[in-house]
Structure 1
Amino acid sequence: MRVFSIAAAILMTAAAAAHEAPVAPTQANIAYAPAEPATSRGHLLDLYLPASAGGPVPVVIWTGGSAWRGDQGKDSAGWLAPELNKRGYAVAGVSIRSTSQVIFPGQLHDIKAAIRFLRANASKYGLDGSRIAIIGDSSGGWTTAMAAVTGDVPDLEGTVGVTGVSSAVQAAIAFYPPSDFLMMDAWALGSCKTAAAGNGADCHDNAESPESQLVGCALQQCPDKVALADPARYISEKDPPIMIFHGEADRHVPYVEGMHLYQALNKACRDAVFISLPKADHGPAHDFLTDEKLSEGATIRSTASAGCMVKNPDFYRPTWATITDFLDRYLKR
């Protein structure tokens, strides 16, 4: 038994992040699709609206990580909402179903249903449906990346909730996202043998791992199915700008996972930013922006679609402005 699982790590991350800035949603538990099963919280979202707005406001979706083992992704949006609300953004905390309720691509169908719901009901809530971004951490970072790169993939839309509306987003920010599950154990900081003692990396290849549970089989036994869950597979010219954060000391989602996604965006000449924090472990996301000690030695690199330009790594300290400037660039008019 793993003493410190990804699920436990993410729940601790969510609790720590929520503790930083506890804020109640303006409207809670809005059903963006019928509950399935009836007890699921996976088809609910919370809205955090700015105190005042002169018109429809852009909306930023937050979906928190749980190793796909919980349907509480919306509950950790409280840390993000105050900072974005005061800058004129609405925040939608979105929960998707867990792997005990559905396997991939069900989770992707859920987040797309939430995007379509917000777009279809934008006028009802004072939102601008043409300006939607998404942010998530860990498994929520994977959800974020998958939503960002599959807005133009009809076969992955699903039939959950509102249909016939675009699920495309205009910007995405993924904190320490898993991407190519097949290489997670090979690049883990510790071995599976030491993980049982609580001082190594989580194992991913075994049938009980979060990633195996997501795709419905032990990873190395079904590589074709696993490949379908890699966001790098779907990168196209229609994808929005994507920012990725990853800690080099991450014991639960290896650093190479975030780099793999960024490199794929780089090779495809897409608009992407990669921020690396040498001292950072697996979150919490809030600390990536506020803890100066954690960001010591951090670097930033980027690639752009215009001329396929690349900016090599340079020292950089991420702050809240990193997030808000990125969103402003692509969502503010």
Structure 2
Amino acid sequence: MSTTNTALRALIAAPHPDVAPLPPATRPAPELRLLRGVPYGEVDGGRPLELDLWLPAAGDGPAPLVLFVHGGAWRRGRRDDMGLRTRHWAPGPLERIAAAGFAVACADYRLSGEALFPAPLDDLRAALRWIGLRAAELGVDTERTVVWGESAGGHLASLLALDPTVTATGAVIWYAPSDLTVPRGPFDPHSATTPEALLLGAAPAAVPERAREASPVARVHGAAPPFLLVHGEQDTMVPGSHSEELAARLRDAGVPVKLRTVPGADHGWYGAPDDAVKDVFARSLRFAQGCVA
């Protein structure tokens, strides 16, 4: 295809996400609107980046925001999946958060087979930028933003909350890696085949500065927002020491942090009783509400 007629190419291209009309909303419940597949960013040579938006009915003003970040070892996953133990919930967890008065955005980000770190973090920053740009149209108050992630998504949400350029008033982090530099459980920083290595593009030990940049424990600072860290006590994939060390670093920096462990729970709350999983969700939602009150 010829690339010489740049004016025509610009004319026929889809509108840029910054100005594109919003898609029609559905109503999963009378008090909620759901916009699926909203483009928020463009990557040259890559797929459009999209997010889903759950928007509560207009109330006393713009709604606070939860940005949810999915897991999947940075390699796979779906933007609207909060993990194994919530997939059968009806209504689903994101709808429940929206019903509590939040606008909820769940965003795509580039996976490790598409681009290396910090690309996924850049994408999440871009999602927040886009929401801020369209905030008045959406009825969202981005000055009250809680990032919420599980597993690899919790790792990215931690980095996002610790980014001084990002406005976040709280972080809910479920069973997430916090240190990509030292051996923990099954993770070997000298291996080039781990999910962490695929994220970084090399064995973490071979790229120590990049691994440190990608480690939330190394990014802690005193101006970070409050954190809630929740981890299964029997996690065989991401040891609980990840959350324990991050909690200790946050406390040392003077950052409000709560650490909760779940007895009998492996990764993704596998093995925990249903009531325990519901309790984790309820406590997480109350924490998020407290961060935007």
TM-score between both structures, scaled by the size of structure 1:
0.70
Q: Determine the C-alpha separation between the residues in 2 that align with 1:132 and 1:279.
A: 31
Letter paired with 2:157 = T
1:168-179 aligned within 5 A: 168-179=167-178
Q: Determine the C-alpha separation between the residues in 1 that align with 2:198 and 2:256.
A: 32
Deviation at 1:36, TM superposition (A): 4.5
Secondary structure at 1:101 match in 2: coil
Give unpaired runs (5+ residues) of structure 1: 1-21, 153-166, 189-200, 296-316
Q: Determine the C-alpha separation between the residues in 2 that align with 1:33 and 1:179.
A: 27
Q: Is 2:236 the partner of 1:239? A: no
Matched residue, 2:54 = 48
Deviation at 1:29, TM superposition (A): 1.1
Cα deviation, 1:206-227, whole Å, max 9, x if unaligned, reads: 2111100111111222222211
**Residue 259 (structure 1) aligned to one of 227, 236, 244:** 244
Q: Determine the C-alpha separation between the residues in 2 that align with 1:99 and 1:320.
A: 28
Give unpaired runs (5+ residues) of structure 2: 1-27, 83-90
Matched residue, 1:14 = none
Matched residue, 2:195 = 210
RMSD over equivalenced CA pairs, Å: 2.5
> Measured at CA, do residues 319 and 211 of structure 1 come closer, stay the same or move farther in structure 2, by a change above 3 Å?
closer
- Indicate conservation of the 8 Å contact 1:99/1:213, yes or no: yes
Identity %: 28
**Residue 100 (structure 1) aligned to one of 113, 122, 125:** 113
> Measured at CA, do residues 210 and 37 of structure 1 come closer, stay the same or move farther in structure 2, by a change above 3 Å?
farther
Deviation at 1:25, TM superposition (A): 7.1
Matched residue, 1:109 = 122
Matched residue, 1:9 = none
Matched residue, 1:193 = none
Deviation at 1:82, TM superposition (A): 2.2
> Measured at CA, do residues 252 and 204 of structure 1 come closer, stay the same or move farther in structure 2, by a change above 3 Å?
farther
Secondary structure at 2:260 match in 1: strand
Letter paired with 1:45 = L
Q: Is 2:113 the partner of 1:75? A: no
Q: Is 2:33 the partner of 1:28? A: no
Cα deviation, 1:215-249, whole Å, max 9, x if unaligned, reads: 11112222222111111222122211111111121
Number of matched pairs: 256
Q: Is 2:289 the partner of 1:331? A: no
Secondary structure at 1:225 match in 2: helix
Matched residue, 1:276 = 261
Matched residue, 2:14 = none
Matched residue, 2:10 = none
Matched residue, 1:162 = none
Q: Is 2:279 the partner of 1:322? A: no
Query: Which structure: larger Rg?
Result: 2
Cα deviation, 1:181-229, whole Å, max 9, x if unaligned, reads: 233xx431xxxxxxxxxxxx46664211110011111122222221111
Secondary structure at 2:267 match in 1: coil
Q: Determine the C-alpha separation between the residues in 2 that align with 1:202 and 1:236.
A: 26
Secondary structure at 1:100 match in 2: coil
Deviation at 1:318, TM superposition (A): 3.9
Q: Determine the C-alpha separation between the residues in 2 that align with 1:261 and 1:129.
A: 25
Matched residue, 1:145 = 158
Cα deviation, 1:231-270, whole Å, max 9, x if unaligned, reads: 1222122211111111121111111111121111011111
Q: Determine the C-alpha separation between the residues in 1 that align with 2:115 and 2:98.
A: 33
TM-score between both structures, scaled by the size of structure 2:
0.79
Q: Determine the C-alpha separation between the residues in 2 that align with 1:96 and 1:242.
A: 22
Q: Is 2:138 the partner of 1:125? A: yes
Q: Is 2:184 the partner of 1:187? A: yes
